[in-house]
Structure 1
Amino acid sequence: MDFRTTARRLERLNPWAVDAGLAAVLAAITLAEIAVNADRPDVTASDAWWSAAFTVAMTLPLVLRRRYPFAVVAAVGVPATVYNVVDIPPDPYTLTFSILVAVYSVSAYGRRRLAVTAAVIAAVALVLINLPVMPDESGFADVVNQFLLLGGGWVAGQNSRYRRREAELLRERAERAEREQQERGRVAVLEERGRLAREIHDVIAHSVGVIAVQAGAARAVAEQRPDLARETLATIEQVSKDTLVELRRALGALRAAGQETDLRPAPGLAALGELVEKVGGAGVRVSVRERGQRRDVPPGVDLSAYRIVQEALTNTVKHSGSPTAHVTISYGLSSLEVQVIDEGGTSPARASGDTGPASRDGGHGLIGMRERVTMLGGEFEAGATETGFSVHARFPLTCAREDR
């Protein structure tokens, strides 16, 4: 177990418990040193008891070192000064640890102005206390060592303050970035649902128009050609079922505020030729391959499959740099599958699903495509391949025709 792992585990502990444990350990170490030296000839029982009392006075305040760092350094420094002035043996060396922790704490957790003030006061007190011994070479060296020790504690506290602040800034940036990412995703979903509502409106409007025309034709030939009237009514029945399914799905889409309705006929897979020509004009050669027997599919699936191909090819032009793309339309017994593959690699924008502002007719990157397929009960996959990027969507056809 390395030091960083240990440090992270200690950070998760209760600060009060950690500080209380630190104070107890320092007190125990110093009291143990006093007990060991209590049998020295120059140490009386009274001296030992007084040293123990000063030890408790200098270690007990450390429990509050994070909450009141300046008050703690004062509470530790005053008894330390008095103890040094009265010069009571055995003068345990380990008592220096309590002073060092107090200096570190005020530097790491106190306000910067108070931390500097505490450092200045400690330096002045250290000089004044040791004035009598400073002319002596060994005494001067001892003072220098104390300065270095306390200065090291103060610098360590400043370093801890800097690292803690840096960690807080990184955490704030990460949280802000996550919130922004979630907001972008939410906005993208709302915008895409608005576009889906408009497009499904086009499908419904088209279906109602077909029903009206077919109903008029059935009424006109009902007496002379009852067989043709029955076929027309069957067509009306099927179109009505498809329209009801699309209407139910439209209830889950929210239109964006202020969005105008586009009443042009919705495109479908039959319009792929025009789309391929447009993409070819942008410098990307597109090959289209069909598998299975081509047949009519529900209007919502036809429209969404076209939009998937359109968005995937748009992403190829914008982000891939690939000169070619391959589109495969697979007609199954119960499903329609659409796959678009290019050989241009994966940019950060494509991998994250954020491909920039959505166009009026397009989607919003991978987020929009996934939302579109999910609304129709399908499955969507997109990701990097060994040579480029692949988009694959599967639309169920059986459930699209059910009258639920």
Structure 2
Amino acid sequence: MLLVEFFGAMAAQHGATRDRAWDRGDGWGRGHGWGDGSQGYGITHLDALGFAIVLAGPALLLLRRRYPVATLAATGLLTGLYFLRAYPYGPAFAAVGVAMLGAIVAGHRLVTWAGTAVSVAVYFGITALIGVPFDQRGKPGALFPVEEPSVGGVSVVVGWSLAVLVTAELVRMTGQRAAERDRTRAEEERRQASEERLRMARELHDVLAHNISMINVQAGVALHLMDGDPEQARTALAAIKDASKEALTEMRSVIGALRAQGETAPRSPTAGLARLDDLLDRARSAGLTVDAETAGEPRPLPAGADLAAFRIVQESLTNVTRHAGPGPVTARVRIAYGEREVEVRVEDDGRGAPLLDDHRDGSGIRGMRERAAALGGTFDAGPRAGGGFAVRATLPLTGEPPDAPDSGDAGAGAGAGPGDPAERDGQ
């Protein structure tokens, strides 16, 4: 800006050459004028004060971010002084234009608009009092040889001021919209990251709760039968091996997603109802009697519904294993394929966990409910009238999922209140 104003002022001074009648004593306004015969305009040649004003205006702009109003006031005074002295027109107004832009972008809109209006009015009021005719502009010997205001001059100054102010407002609004877009994008990224962490927490919970429960049950069986029935103990140990291998495989899948630097295609099968038979076999190896029933025509499901159905069955069987109580327990798993939804129902005839469970702060039932809600489905869980426990989920296969559940209700690991069915949930 300093270079623009300095060289612009020098060029304006050179271009405003007029017949210096006062040097020859033959009167004002007569002589050669412009090279094409038109009349030039008078100026006060740049002196020490003029150069100081030309240099000071751009230098003050260094302070516009920290002191926008003070910078605007100072550059406005310097610009007014420059034109009152009748120096060459040039780009001397550029510094105050930048100061106006900076003040509005910084949020000082009212001060800038009002200050500009008052400054323009005061300037033309002063020039109306002390101004000289245009053909005597820059007359030597006068401290402020500024021309009288004219309709053209007032129109130019007012129009330029409005143009700068409107441009500054547009820049401010553009910046605000960009900042709002950035904030919205950042909030969306944080929301998506939170949902992804919640999803992975559910996955880890379901994997660990199911497989560790199976390992715990089979380890107890193996210890109990180690001496009396070694063959059955060996079977239990084999089941422990299979369950631990399954847990490790799925944990590697989830943790690998956490470590991934970019999106890559999955390299292992995704959990779904296609693996339901394996899941039921592991539950049977833990000592449960599991009856499975499929209604409707089985078919491939959308990935979200397929995974949710599998995890709901997995978590329900885990809860049966842990909390159904002593004695032979039968679990009934029913998958009903509808035209637009799939229903998952898991029931057992166990006696249930005691009311004062040591693990009431689990999130298994809460996680199942969240999985169903995330797909726009329904979920119910609670004691059965004839004894035992029942879980029922309906997962839609079409339509858009609703907004994600509020994070205050969806935190993984949140405790269940008194009387909530989650009292049956041990993880």
**TM-score normalised by structure 1 residue count:** 0.51
Q: Which amino acid aligns with 1:128?
A: G
For residues 40 and 243 of structure 1, the distance between their equivalents in structure 2, rounded to whole angstroms, comes to 103
For residues 53 and 128 of structure 1, the distance between their equivalents in structure 2, rounded to whole angstroms, comes to 25
- Residue number among 121, 124, 137 corresponding to 1:127 in the alignment: 124
Residue aligned with 2:213, SS = helix
Where does the alignment leave 5 or more consecutive residues of structure 1 unmatched?
A: 1-21, 220-228, 254-265, 289-303, 312-316, 326-356, 367-386, 389-404
For residues 299 and 247 of structure 2, the distance between their equivalents in structure 1, rounded to whole angstroms, comes to 34
CA RMSD of the aligned region, Å? 4.8
Alignment correspondent of 1:342: none
**1:96 correspondence with 2:75:** no
Equivalent positions of 1:9-88 (< 5 A) are: 22-37=1-16, 41=20, 47-50=45-48, 51-88=50-87
Q: Which amino acid aligns with 2:310?
A: R
Alignment correspondent of 1:174: 185
For residues 239 and 273 of structure 1, the distance between their equivalents in structure 2, rounded to whole angstroms, comes to 20
Q: Which amino acid aligns with 1:183?
A: S
Q: Which entry has the higher C-alpha Rg, 1 or 2?
A: 2
TM-superposed CA distance for 1:186, in Å, is 1.6
Q: Percent identity?
A: 18
Equivalent positions of 1:181-330 (< 5 A) are: 181-208=192-219, 210-211=221-222, 215=226, 218=229, 235=235, 238-242=238-242, 245=245, 267-268=279-280, 273-274=292-293, 276-277=294-295, 280=296, 285-287=297-299, 307=310, 323=340
For residues 86 and 186 of structure 1, the distance between their equivalents in structure 2, rounded to whole angstroms, comes to 69
For residues 43 and 195 of structure 1, the distance between their equivalents in structure 2, rounded to whole angstroms, comes to 98
Residue aligned with 2:46, SS = helix
Moved more, 175-184 or 52-61: 52-61
Q: Is the Cα contact below 8 Å between 1:107 and 1:115 reproduced in 2?
A: yes
TM-superposed CA distance for 1:129, in Å, is 3.5
CA deviation vs aligned residue, 1:5-45 (integer Å, no higher than 9, x gap): xxxxxxxxxxxxxxxxx333333322333355568637999
Q: Is the Cα contact below 8 Å between 1:69 and 1:110 reproduced in 2?
A: no
Count of matched residue pairs: 264
Question: Are the structure 2 counterparts of residues 239 and 194 from structure 1 closer, same or farther at C-alpha, using a change threshold of 3 Å?
Answer: closer
Where does the alignment leave 5 or more consecutive residues of structure 2 unmatched?
A: 24-42, 135-147, 255-277, 285-289, 301-306, 315-334, 343-365, 376-397, 400-427
For residues 361 and 161 of structure 1, the distance between their equivalents in structure 2, rounded to whole angstroms, comes to 43
TM-superposed CA distance for 1:245, in Å, is 4.3
Alignment correspondent of 1:291: none
Alignment correspondent of 2:154: 143
Residue aligned with 1:185, SS = helix
TM-superposed CA distance for 1:119, in Å, is 2.1
Q: Which amino acid aligns with 2:160?
A: L
For residues 172 and 104 of structure 2, the distance between their equivalents in structure 1, rounded to whole angstroms, comes to 8
Alignment correspondent of 1:161: 172
For residues 111 and 361 of structure 1, the distance between their equivalents in structure 2, rounded to whole angstroms, comes to 48
TM-superposed CA distance for 1:267, in Å, is 4.8
TM-superposed CA distance for 1:242, in Å, is 3.3
